[in-house]
């Protein structure tokens, strides 16, 4: 039952982490390429106090770090930026107390990527954010693995039918 208390408001442990940056920058200066890696909602699982404590508080986990540290990636990198959404809400609350919206994330990442050719990377919720930020940052490439995006037009807040979504996709493709 204690596991359900992770998302109680306020939770001092979660709040303390939300007051941190929740992004990391590593400079390599090998090239002019900046990779921006976005964590998915699999950042920690299950959503328990124990798992949050272990993965986020104790290990300061960001997804993609192991892959990004490979020699093949590092030699092609000028900078790596790792971003995480500890609330696992598709970055709707931003990443921290100060960067608490997608618009503020755009401003932060524009500043951190200035002068670099940008490549964004993410899966699922991180893939969604990688695609969104690729557009906002005029990225050279975006690797979006199973990002959750709808091409459907919405009018009057109604949800489109499956048939109209397929028709719109055919027009786009």
Along the 173 residues of the chain, how does pLDDT read in single tens digits?
455 567 777 788 999 999 999 999 999 999 999 999 999 999 999 888 999 999 999 999 999 999 999 999 999 999 999 999 999 999 999 999 999 999 999 999 999 999 999 999 999 999 999 999 999 999 999 999 988 776 555 444 445 555 555 555 455 44
Residue with tokens 């993609």: 64
The predicted pLDDT at position 10 comes to 79
For the chain, give me the number of helices (H) and strands (E)? 7, 5
Cα(123)–Cα(36) distance, rounded to whole angstroms? 12
pTM for the model:
0.84
Cα(67)–Cα(99) distance, rounded to whole angstroms? 26
Strands 23-27 and 79-83: antiparallel
Q: Are 137 and 109 in contact (CB under 8 A)?
A: yes
Note the pLDDT tens digit of each residue in 107-130.
999 999 999 999 999 999 999 999
Cα(19)–Cα(135) distance, rounded to whole angstroms? 27
């Amino acid at each position: 039952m204690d596991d359900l208390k992770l998302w109680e408001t306020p939770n001092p442990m979660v709040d303390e982490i939300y007051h941190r940056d929740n992004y990391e920058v590593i400079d390599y200066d090998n090239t002019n390429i900046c990779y921006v890696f976005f964590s998915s909602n699999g950042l920690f699982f299950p959503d328990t106090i124990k798992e949050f404590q272990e993965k986020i508080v104790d290990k300061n986990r960001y997804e993609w770090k192991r892959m990004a540290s490979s020699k093949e990636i590092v030699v092609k990198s000028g900078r790596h930026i790792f971003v995480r959404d500890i609330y696992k809400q598709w970055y709707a609350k931003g990443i921290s107390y100060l960067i608490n919206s997608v618009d503020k994330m755009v401003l932060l990442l524009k500043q951190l990527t200035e002068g670099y050719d940008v490549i964004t990377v993410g899966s699922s919720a991180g893939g969604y954010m990688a695609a969104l930020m690729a557009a906002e940052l005029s990225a050279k490439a975006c690797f979006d693995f199973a990002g959750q995006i709808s091409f459907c037009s919405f009018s009057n807040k109604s949800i489109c039918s499956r048939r109209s979504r397929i028709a719109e996709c055919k027009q786009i493709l």
